[in-house]
Amino acid sequence: MSSDNLSLKIEFGGGLELLFSKQRSHNITIPAIVRKDDSTSSLPQENDVETKPADITYLIHHLRDHLLKERPELFIENKTVRPGILVLVNDTDWELEGEGDYQLKNGDEIVFISTLHGG
Amino acid sequence: MAPKLCVLCETAKAMLRRPKTGQQICRDCFFYVFETEVHNTIVEAKLFKSGDSVAIGASGGKDSTVLAYVMKTLNERYKYGLELFLLSIDEGITGYRDDSLETVKRNQQQYDMPLKILSYDELYGWTMDAIVAQVGRKNNCTFCGVFRRQALDRGAAMLGVDHIVTGHNADDIAETILMNIMRGDIARLGRCTAICTQGEDTIKRSKPFKYAYEKEIVMYAYFKKLDYFSTECIYSPDAYRGHARAFLKDLEAARPSAIIDIIHSGEAFEVKEEVKATQHVQQTCQRCGYMSSNPLCKACTLLEGLERGSAESGLTERARKKLEAEGPTPENIRTIPFFNKTPSGNPGLSIAVEIPA
Ligand SMILES: [Zn+2]
Ligand SMILES: [Zn+2]
């Protein structure tokens, strides 16, 4: 890994953007290596903290802690997105990419779309 | 990790997993199977005949936006011979409906379809904002549901169409089946699963997306970059439906076929004659001519309550008796213009439970 950070493009749609400052598109930077327990507080220096490469499960926690402005229960539930929210990784259904276990790469575009808002 | 290939064409990269079948397919195959399934639903249920005029109930939301796009596509591809219109109801909700109507107006341009907007204000003399100001936020959804149903029929009559199609999808229908079961409303079960319903003097209504999953509708809109509006109605929260919806989404997460399975269960219920007998015989409203199970239709009853400053009277028996005791209906209150829709087609089923789109 040439860098310790990953730059990601995040998109929200289907009404989910209302929870994120009413803004659909966000560019964020997250650490490439994160805590295995998905805690988003910065990594301590000591070696006894278990780590993992950043994945979508971590990203969901990161978005909740650092980008979400209101009502987290409409976004996250049981360590994943609330049922009814679709996730796309570079335009592909995350169900084909390992869902929360997908390991993020620099430059990835992750889209979250709520299907729960009225038709 | 090598990209997974589409199981249908075996050449392009798979982009989504179909909830109904688990198949991993590419974008183009997805468009094709989604559209073809809707086409098959339309053909099998014999929804249209050549020359029909059809209004698409358009809210600006995802379902009706995708429905308008798919109806236009299929009408051209399979030469249905339909004349298509967009029909929108303006409930008069500032900050919600005015924004979504802008989306519908763009759809009118994008899809090149005539658009009719009928407002509650025009038809009833009351906007939802004014109704909420009088009745508060407790029963406003009752007013809105009753008024919307009649407004759609009247808008369709103004357009001179034979048929209204709405964007209700498989998830909506499964949700309504669950709600009717949990309420013990077995009489409505059969009707809420019907793909097409028609009252005696109302216009035929149908749901071409009856078997289309919400996930696929949203994916379709995303991949096609369709322009839709998504905000919850500011007055809405129908808590009961919200619980049914959350429950259904949990079921779907565990087993994606749950939605279609619930629809099949709903369809398989045979309603006994004695249950059906408790439903009222349909007649015509004395005041406005709309179909009704009582001398006065629900909309006229609610409107009279609003006009006489006793909104409750449209909702409870007790409040209605109290209002009646105050005297007869005053001459000068606003009423709904008389509905002149000549019966067309065969009188079939009566109306199904309203599913908010
Ligand atoms: Zn393919
Ligand atoms: Zn009436």
Question: Looking at the structure, do residues B289 and B270 belong to the same domain, yes or no?
Answer: no
Scan residues 75-104 of A and list those with Cβ closer than 8 Å to B. 82-84, 86, 88, 91-93, 95-96
Domain ranges of chain A: 5-114
Question: Do the chains contact at B231 and A117, CB–CB below 8 Å?
Answer: yes
Q: Is residue B8 part of a domain?
A: no
- Segment A95-107, tens digit of pLDDT: 999 999 999 999 9
ipTM, interface predicted TM-score of the complex: 0.92
Q: Is residue B163 part of a domain?
A: yes
Question: Looking at the structure, do residues B247 and B106 belong to the same domain, yes or no?
Answer: yes
Q: Is residue B16 part of a domain?
A: no
Cα distances from A88 to residues A65, A93, A114, B215, in angstroms, run: 21, 5, 12, 12
| pLDDT attached to residue A2 | 45
Q: Is residue B61 part of a domain?
A: yes
For residue B354, give both structure tokens: 């309203």
Rounded to whole angstroms, the Cα distance separating B174 from B259 reads: 6
Phi/psi of residue A31, each to 5°? Answer: -65, 150
Question: Looking at the structure, do residues B266 and B287 belong to the same domain, yes or no?
Answer: no
Question: Looking at the structure, do residues B59 and B165 belong to the same domain, yes or no?
Answer: yes
Q: Is B22 left (phi over 0), alpha (psi -120 to 50) or beta?
A: left
Question: Looking at the structure, do residues B348 and B259 belong to the same domain, yes or no?
Answer: no
Rounded to whole angstroms, the Cα distance separating B30 from B16 reads: 8
The pTM for the full model equals 0.88
| pLDDT attached to residue B276 | 53
Question: Do the chains contact at A119 and B24, CB–CB below 8 Å?
Answer: no
How many Cβ atoms are within 10 Å of B4's Cβ, its own excluded? Answer: 16
Centroid of ligand 2 to alpha carbon of B324 (angstroms) = 17
| pLDDT attached to residue B201 | 58
Please tell me which of the candidates B4, B171, B218 has its beta carbon nearest to residue A113.
B218
DSSP character string of B293-316: SSSS-HHHHHHHHHHTT-GGGGT-
- Which residues in B lie closer than 8 A to residue A15 (C-beta atoms)? 230-232
Encoded amino acid at B195, one letter: I
Which of B252, B279, B306 represents a domain boundary (last residue)? B279
Question: Looking at the structure, do residues B354 and B253 belong to the same domain, yes or no?
Answer: no
Question: Looking at the structure, do residues B267 and B210 belong to the same domain, yes or no?
Answer: yes
How many residues comprise chain A?
A: 119
In the structure, ligand 2 is a single-atom ion and the residues with CB under 5 Å from it are B 285, 287-288, 290, 297, 300
Q: What is the count of residue pairs from A and B with beta carbons less than 8 Å apart? A: 78
Q: How far is A94 from chain B (nearest CA, A)?
A: 8
CATH number for the domain spanning B191: value is 3.40.50.620
Question: Looking at the structure, do residues B325 and B300 belong to the same domain, yes or no?
Answer: yes
Host H or E run for residue B178: helix B170-183
In this structure, are residues B208 and B71 in contact, taking their beta carbons and an 8 Å threshold?
yes
Q: Is residue B24 part of a domain?
A: no
Residue A21 has pLDDT above 70, yes or no: yes
- Segment A27-56, tens digit of pLDDT: 999 999 999 999 988 766 666 788 999 999
* CB-based burial, B291-303: b 16+ in 10 Å, e otherwise: bbeeebbbbbbbb
Q: How far is B349 from chain A (nearest CA, A)?
A: 25
How many angstroms from the chain centroid is the CA of residue B255?
26
The domain A5-114 belongs to what CATH superfamily?
A: Beta-grasp domain (3.10.20.30)
Q: What is the mean pLDDT of chain A?
A: 90
Question: Do the chains contact at B218 and A115, CB–CB below 8 Å?
Answer: yes
Q: Is residue B1 part of a domain?
A: no
Phi/psi of residue B80, each to 5°? Answer: -65, -30
Rounded to whole angstroms, the Cα distance separating A79 from A40 reads: 13
Q: How far is A14 from chain B (nearest CA, A)?
A: 5
Q: Kindly give the parts of chain B with pLDDT less than 50.
A: 277, 343-357
Question: Looking at the structure, do residues B176 and B313 belong to the same domain, yes or no?
Answer: no
How many residues comprise chain B?
A: 357
Provide the domain count of chain B.
2
Question: Looking at the structure, do residues B311 and B162 belong to the same domain, yes or no?
Answer: no
The residue segments making up the domain with residue B328 are 282-357
Rounded to whole angstroms, the Cα distance separating B34 from B28 reads: 10
Centroid of ligand 2 to alpha carbon of B125 (angstroms) = 14
Rounded to whole angstroms, the Cα distance separating B169 from B152 reads: 18
- Segment A62-115, tens digit of pLDDT: 999 999 998 998 899 999 999 889 999 999 999 999 999 999 999 999 999 998
Which of B249, B279, B309 represents a domain boundary (last residue)? B279
Question: Looking at the structure, do residues B95 and B165 belong to the same domain, yes or no?
Answer: yes
Please tell me which of the candidates B16, B214, B245 has its beta carbon nearest to residue A93.
B16
Burial class of residue A84 in the structure, from the number of CB atoms within 10 Å of its CB (0-12 exposed, 13-18 middle, 19+ buried): buried
Question: Looking at the structure, do residues B191 and B330 belong to the same domain, yes or no?
Answer: no
| pLDDT attached to residue A1 | 45
Ligand closest to the CA atom of residue B28: 1
